[in-house]
Structure 1
């Protein structure tokens, strides 16, 4: 088997883009394609994500044919455990990728790239020319809070309160003050184990359902944040544990979307105000704000647009395997 990939990262969070060599995929929709890969090609996902060609925190994406009429490109997300329905650090890299590799013709000062993800279409705006090629913004899918104030009994921790919010995937949100953690790199390894335990315990008592598509109804990860920052600051640090104990190096795009929805539901974000989320490993930041209210099933979610001021770095490698 001969597979070529393009290696990118957003704020230190890697993205392995599979370009050629993947078998033909059946399915009319992107979600049907995921189901086909899971049943027929999952060994390739493991091959590219796991050691020795990958590592525990590897993240990847596969380009497929779009099934939405306005999409310029469509991508499936893969990781150490399986398949994701949204990844916004990947959207940032893929916006650049689509422009850099002429999938969409570059226009100054900003190029619109419509990227189809399993959860929907993401209008992505890539700044181009005049030294602004590292700037990118996009509008997420409808984001909403599924559950507020859920009491969860976590082994070795006890009863805690979590919130479940959606930003393309569902996250359980929990504050550091009930976990005995700080939102700092020094507590990252503890956060991985505790975040996984919170997610596992939450899955046992909460039925996570998306109001419009059952394939989107699953808990993807845990977001650990500082309650005092949430209430008093415009800059919030957060640690994101997802899949099988993966830790996001970036501020997390889908987590930003879900967090904006949660902050808005708590009455802590009004009008055109915005919040900025920062990685615990570097000074990279994602900024989110409410754009407009909308409906998603019986929920009244918010759309939010994130303006991400950063650089994505790329190297390209060819991998030959047998």
Structure 2
């Protein structure tokens, strides 16, 4: 609801913040919304609106991790503060009474973030100091449990016309991709399917980045121009507003020894060909669901995702 309202009535604010001269092509934003339909009914502690160079994304794991620490720090002033009985957010609109739950014994705070895709449950470690203050513990990782993620298409063949190709594809006229949802919909495609040697993703150069940008932009355009593909693979059971292709993730085996049995490298082009510095939180969610659907990952197993950026 808030995302649609911002897009229709307040987009000048996003453009002023994200676009030049104040912002830049890769700028990303998160606007806190204390009052949403879910915070008002006690189903979330805070709402958030994510901003991109093209509009409003529906989920961002990277921003969720940062917001978790920010929100915990914003209320961690003193153990004697009423927040420990029921933490509060102070805003220009008054007092927000929804509670962050602090578990003092294990040093973790739990909060529910109302993102456009739904409620994301965030766990933020914190440290209590002798003077009575507390802050998020930057030595321990923030984690979150997101909305249900799932694969909608495995080994989907996308036809590429001669006039709509890119140089690295050569004479091939088909690209095999996967499609999955992790709070947003993604095409997941190997570098080799796009015509790039996988090693180029592990030692990324500016020319390779520019060529990948052109290939993913073309692939996204081809997919979006095909109503049948969109109808078949961008299905969301609850919200039609989420049924759009957000990004293209290019993958390759990782050259980094992470100590994990399964390790992948990837680069994500989202919104208007914006490049993500991280492996993309919602993209990782989609890829985990995809790996499970393909039988490559079992419940309880872990996988590490890297980014060359």
Q: Same fold judged by TM-score > 0.5?
A: yes
Which of 282, 288, 293 in structure 2 is aligned with 1:265?
293
- Work out which of the two has the higher radius of gyration on C-alpha atoms and give 1 or 2: 2
Cα deviation for residue 180 of structure 1 reads: 2.6
Paired residue for 2:220?
Answer: 199
> 1:316 maps to what in 2?
none
Alpha-carbon spacing, 1:227–1:277, altered in 2? closer, same or farther (3 Å): closer
Q: Secondary structure at the match of 1:178?
A: helix
Structure 1 or 2: more helix by fraction? 2
The alpha-carbon deviation at position 240 of structure 1 amounts to: 0.4
Structure with greater proportional strand content: 1
**Cα distance, 1:190 vs structure 2:** 2.2
Other-structure match for 2:96: none
Q: Does 1:67 align with 2:82?
A: no
- Residues in 1 aligned to 2:56 and 2:47: alpha-carbon distance in whole angstroms: 14
Q: Distance in 2 between matches of 1:162 and 1:105?
A: 42
Aligned residue number for residue 127 of structure 2: 129
| Number of residue pairs the alignment of both structures matches | 248
1:33 aligns with 2:11: no
> Is structure 2 residue 279 aligned with structure 1 residue 251?
yes
Any conservation in 1 of the 2:2–2:36 contact (CA below 8 Å)?
no
In structure 2, what is the equivalent of residue 274 of structure 1?
A: 302
Q: Tell me how far apart the structure 1 counterparts of residues 254 and 142 of structure 2 sit (CA, whole Å).
A: 29
Q: Which runs of 4 or more aligned residues in structure 1 lie more than 6 Å from their structure 2 counterparts after TM superposition? A: none
Question: Which deviates more from structure 2 when the two are superposed, residues 193-202 or residues 167-176?
Answer: 193-202
Q: TM-score, structure 2 length as denominator?
A: 0.75
Q: Which has the higher contact order (CA 8 A, sep 6+)?
A: 1
RMSD, aligned α-carbons: 2.0
SS of the counterpart of 1:200?
Answer: helix
Aligned counterpart for 1:223 among listed residues 227, 233, 249: 249
1:178 to 176, 193, 207: 193
Instruction: Provide closer, same or farther for how the CA distance between residues 256 and 117 of structure 1 changes in structure 2, counting only shifts above 3 A.
Output: same
Matches within 5 A, 1:6-21: none
2:74 match: 101
d(CA) in 2 for partners of 1:106, 1:145: 35
The answer to whether the 8 Å contact 2:253/2:265 transfers is no
TM-score, length of structure 1 as denominator length: 0.73
